[in-house]
Amino acid sequence: MKPNIGENIKKLRNEKQVTQEQLAEHLSISYQAVSKWENNVTTPDIFLLPVIAEYFEVPIDEIFKVNMKGYKNKAARLFALYDYGDREHKKENFNKAEAEYEKLIAENKMDGEDMRLYGILNQFYAQVLNKKAEEMLKKSVEMGIERSEGQLMGLLRSQGRHEENIKKYEELMKNDPDNVRWWNLLASSHNDFDKKSDTVKKGLKKFPNDAGLLNRYAEICKNQGKYDEAIEYYKKSVEQNNEIGSSYYAMAFLYKDMEKYKESIQAWEEVIALHDRLGLPDEEIEMGKEWPKQEIAKLKMLIENNGE
């Protein structure tokens, strides 16, 4: 069967609720030309097809479909434009589709299929963002920003690219075995608990006072249920570097799990003190303190309820 381009244009025009005259005006042609398309007398000039597709916000392929059924709503049409008609997955097309799905949510008109497509839309755009994030972090690493290396590792790890990280840091360790950064990053790259533990233990033999490795060994102890030993190593970590916020946070939560609420409060107070020491802008300091203050308030209520 041959595609009925004119009929498809008519369906799209009716969906968009525009007249032949309005379409013709947008294309700078006569309305009679549009009428001839829709009556299968003539077909549009090939150079007009991208303009027509853009006007109706559909992939060009849509215009050539046999028995085109159209879309259940504008959100689905814009999803198709982003998915099939935009191989670059541009932000502007994502934003258009997102706005329509959010409108459906606000109007309580979202059904299961809409939710499925909205989920896929965000999944595709997340891939675009991750690709951009990886590009920027690699450039930052090349420019000598050390923090970016760990963030790049974490990004790849979140995508399940553990082996890529492991291969990279094993090679860096081989060439530069006295650089403790590679030991820390290799340990973080491992998804296998035993391999992570083995790397940390070997690293601590070589660098017994490294705050990062001490922090990672504390995590290993915690995961094994050795809470007292974990606390001991968290403390050793902050003794070596009192600006490792993750150790304070970890102790705060671990003390709470151990029902040592007073000690947990002390750990949260260390988090607050850390924000003061870091010399951040006032707004960032206050934002960083808000969560610890909320946790301290909860802990004080637990202490009060327990009659301590």
What pLDDT score was predicted for residue 291?
86
- Entry field: residues in the chain: 308
Span 73-126, pLDDT tens digits: 888 888 887 876 566 778 888 998 999 899 999 999 999 999 999 999 999 999
Looking at beta carbons, which pairs linking 18-24 to residues 24 or more positions away fall under 8 Å? 23/55
Give the span between the Cα atoms of 115 and 60, in whole angstroms: 25
DSSP sequence for 243-297: T-HHHHHHHHHHHHHTT-HHHHHHHHHHHHHHHHHTT--HHHHHHHHHHHHHHHH
Specify the pLDDT at position 16.
81
CA 39 to chain centre: 48
Q: What is the pLDDT along the chain (308 residues), one digit of tens a residue?
A: 566 888 888 888 888 888 999 989 998 999 899 999 888 888 888 889 889 888 888 778 778 877 676 677 888 888 887 876 566 778 888 998 999 899 999 999 999 999 999 999 999 999 999 999 999 999 999 999 988 999 999 999 999 999 999 999 999 999 999 999 999 999 999 999 999 999 999 999 999 999 999 999 999 999 999 999 999 999 999 999 988 788 999 999 999 999 999 999 999 999 888 877 776 666 666 677 888 899 999 999 999 887 66
Rounded Cα distance, 1 and 57, in Å: 25
Which residues contact residue 180 at a Cβ distance below 8 angstroms, ignoring those fewer than 6 apart? 203, 206, 207, 210, 212, 213
Query: Residue 123 contacts by C-beta under 8 Å, 6 or more apart in sequence?
Result: none
Number of C-beta neighbours around residue 142 at 10 A: 9
* pLDDT confidence of residue 59: 78
The encoded tokens of residue 26 equal 């947008």
